[in-house]
Amino acid sequence: MARVLIAFASREGHTELIAHHVARKLEDRGHVVRLINLTEHEGEAGADEYDASIIAGSIHRGSFAGALTSFLMRHGPAVRSHTSAFLPVSLTAASHDPHEVAALNEIAQRFLFEAGWQPDWVEHVAGAVYDRQLNLIERTVLHSIMRQHDEEPDQSGSTVLTDWARLDDFIGEFAAKL
């Protein structure tokens, strides 16, 4: 049984959903998990008392939330001292285009370099589009991009691109190292 910190920054809420999914799966394996939303409770987070950390954050316009960088700057030594994973969340993670995948990897690697962190895993996770949280221009642009990638927006207004089975495979690999 390991103590695992899952710290995340979520703009529309899908990264939070992913973090809760990961937490449930790790708890099902007998691990003790603490979730902390860095955008709401950044000052409450610490990584010293954990055996492992998973840091998750969504990419918006080519960058991550400042709360992720702040957390890693303050708690980097603790995170670097134990098993860790980084879950960048983006719509592009669902792409099969090698140029888009390369650009996504570059964004993540630049962030990790700037934060001074090399996690044991970097697992890109496809995000979601929640129409109700977007203005008309954002919605139109995102729907257009999705259609260019042969992905039709869901009529419900919630288009989830996350590959949950792939995420579960990652969770299994991560848990096996604890």
Chain centre to alpha carbon of residue 168? 14
How many of the other CB atoms lie within 10 Å of CB of 13?
Answer: 12
Please give the residue that has the higher pLDDT: either 74 or 31.
Answer: 31
> Which sequence spans correspond to the domains of the chain?
3-127+162-176, 131-161
Please give the residue that has the higher pLDDT: either 174 or 138.
Answer: 174
Using the predicted structure, report yes or no on whether residue 85 has a pLDDT greater than 70. yes
* pTM of this structure: 0.91
Using the predicted structure, report yes or no on whether residue 149 has a pLDDT greater than 80. no
How many of the other CB atoms lie within 10 Å of CB of 126?
Answer: 21
Domain 3-127+162-176: CATH superfamily is Flavodoxin domain (3.40.50.360)
pLDDT at 47: 79
pLDDT at 148: 78
Provide the angle, in degrees to the nearest 10, between the axes of the packed helices 98-115 and 66-80. 70
pLDDT band of residue 44 (cuts 50, 70, 90) is low
* Among candidate residues 142, 116, 102, the one with its CA nearest the CA of residue 12: 142
DSSP structural state of residue 12: S
Question: Residues of 54-89 as b/e, b for ≥16 C-beta within 10 angstroms?
Answer: bbbbbbeeeebbebbbbbbeebeebbeebbbbbbbb
Please give the residue that has the higher pLDDT: either 62 or 20.
Answer: 20
| Over residues 144-169, mean pLDDT | 87
| Over residues 36-40, mean pLDDT | 91
Strands annotated E in the chain = 3-9, 32-37, 52-58, 83-90, 121-122, 125-126, 128-130, 158-160
